[in-house]
C-alpha cells in the first residue's frame, strides 16, 4: 500500500504546501516505498522530520512553501533551523536523523532534475555520541523469559513468552516478530524462518525447539481463530499485536526483576548477538543471522564482549 505525504505529513491543512512541493513529496515517498523498499517505520520517521522542517520554513510566511523556497535555502537558514530544534529539546541523534532525511530528499530532487541546492552538504551533522548495545546477561535474559511465562494457563502469557523467545532465540526485531503471518508460524518440526528485514533484505533464521514449542503452546491457548494470511500474534481483542504492548511488558518485567532501563524488547536482539559471540560464533555468521547489510554494523558487538576477546588474545598470541 502506498503511503502518501497527506497521511504522513498531515492532510488537515495545518501545513500548507505549494502544488509543486506537494507533488515532489508524493513522488519521493513513492520512490522510497517502491524502489527503495523502505519500511513504514522509515517512511514515518522521514515524514516527521520533513514536517518539522517544512513547518519551520513556512512559519511567518504569507505563502505556502514551494520548491523555489528549497532552491533558495542558504546555510544561515539551515543553521537557524538546527538551532531552533536544539532549543526545542531535540537530541543530537534525532537532529542528525532529521538532517540525514533532508539530505536524502535534496539528493533525490537533484537526481530527478527537480531542484538543486547543495547547502545541506556544507552543514556538518551533529556529532552523535558513540553508543554500544546494552545486552542482558544470560541469567537475566532467562529470568525475562521465565517472568513472561509465569502464568502458564494464560494465553496472553503464552503469547508474550513466544514473542520474547523469538526475539532472544532468533535475534528478530520486534517488527519482524509481530509481522509474522499465521502460515509462517515456526511450529515443532519447522526449524527455519524466512525473514524479510530492513530494505527487503531476506535471511534464513534457525528456530530453537524451545521457541517452536512456545509458539505451539500459544496457538493451543489462543481463543481467536487465526487466518493463514493474518497475523500470528494478536492482542487481547483479537487485532494485530502492537509493539507498544511488548514494550510495556518489558517495562513491568524491569520493575519486577530489577533490570536496567535499557532492558527493552530490542535488548533481547542485542543479547542474542552478544551471547553467540561469547560462545565463539563468527562475526560473519552473526551478521547473516541479524540481517545486517554491513559487517561494520555487527562489529559493534565486539566492544560489548571485550573481556572474551582479550582472553582469546592472551591465549592465542605466541608472546602472551
Helix (H, G, I), strand (E, B) or coil at 195: strand
Helices and strands counted in the chain (H then E): 17, 2
Helix (H, G, I), strand (E, B) or coil at 261: coil
Cβ proximity of 190 and 212 under 8 Å: yes
CB within 8 Å of 29: residues ≥ 6 apart: 2, 3, 4, 5, 8, 43, 46, 47
Cβ proximity of 198 and 291 under 8 Å: yes
Q: Which positions are catalytic?
A: 173, 198, 266, 269, 292, 301
Place of cell 539530505: 103
Residue burial 208-218, b: 16+ Cβ < 10 Å; e: rest: eeebbebbbbb
**Longest CA span, the chain:** 74
Cβ proximity of 267 and 136 under 8 Å: yes
In angstroms, rounded to a whole number, what is the distance separating the alpha carbons of residues 281 and 294?
17
In angstroms, rounded to a whole number, what is the distance separating the alpha carbons of residues 142 and 214?
14
In angstroms, rounded to a whole number, what is the distance separating the alpha carbons of residues 54 and 25?
11
Amino acid at each position: 500500500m502506498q503511503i502518501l505525504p497527506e497521511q504522513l505529513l498531515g492532510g488537515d491543512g495545518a501545513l500548507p504546501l505549494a502544488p509543486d512541493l506537494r507533488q515532489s513529496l508524493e513522488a519521493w515517498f513513492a520512490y522510497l516505498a517502491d524502489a527503495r523498499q523502505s519500511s513504514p517505520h522509515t517512511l514515518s520517521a522521514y515524514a516527521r522530520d520533513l514536517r518539522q522542517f517544512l513547518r519551520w520554513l513556512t512559519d511567518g510566511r504569507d505563502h505556502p512553501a514551494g520548491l523555489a523556497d528549497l532552491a533558495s535555502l542558504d546555510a544561515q537558514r539551515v543553521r537557524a533551523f538546527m538551532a531552533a530544534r536544539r532549543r526545542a529539546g531535540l537530541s543530537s541523534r534525532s537532529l542528525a536523523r532529521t538532517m540525514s532525511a533532508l539530505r536524502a530528499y535534496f539528493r533525490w530532487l537533484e537526481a530527478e532534475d527537480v531542484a538543486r541546492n547543495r547547502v545541506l552538504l556544507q552543514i556538518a551533522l551533529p556529532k552523535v555520541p558513540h553508543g554500544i548495545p546494552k545486552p542482558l546477561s544470560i541469567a537475566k535474559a532467562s529470568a525475562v523469559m521465565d517472568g513472561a511465562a509465569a502464568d502458564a494457563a494464560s494465553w496472553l502469557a503464552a503469547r508474550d513468552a513466544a514473542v520474547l523467545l523469538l526475539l532472544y532465540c532468533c535475534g528478530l526485531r520486534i517488527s519482524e516478530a509481530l509481522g509474522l503471518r499465521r502460515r509462517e508460524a515456526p511450529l515443532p518440526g519447522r526449524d527455519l524462518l524466512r525473514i524479510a528485514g530492513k530494505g527487503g533484505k531476506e535471511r534464513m533464521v534457525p528456530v530453537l525447539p524451545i521457541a517452536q514449542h512456545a509458539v505451539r503452546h500459544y496457538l493451543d491457548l489462543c481463543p481467536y481463530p487465526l487466518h493463514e494470511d493474518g497475523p500470528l500474534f494478536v492482542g487481547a481483542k483479537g487485532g494485530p499485536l502492537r509493539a507498544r504492548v511488548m514494550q510495556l511488558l518489558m517495562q513491568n518485567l524491569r520493575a519486577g526483576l530489577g533490570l536496567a532501563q535499557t532492558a527493552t524488547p530490542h535488548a533481547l536482539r542485542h543479547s542474542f548477538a552478544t551471547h553467540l559471540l561469547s560462545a565463539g560464533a563468527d562475526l560473519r555468521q552473526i551478521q547473516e543471522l541479524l540481517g545486517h547489510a554491513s559487517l561494520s554494523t555487527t562489529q559493534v558487538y565486539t566492544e560489548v564482549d571485550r573481556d572474551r576477546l582479550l582472553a582469546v588474545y592472551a591465549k592465542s598470541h605466541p608472546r602472551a
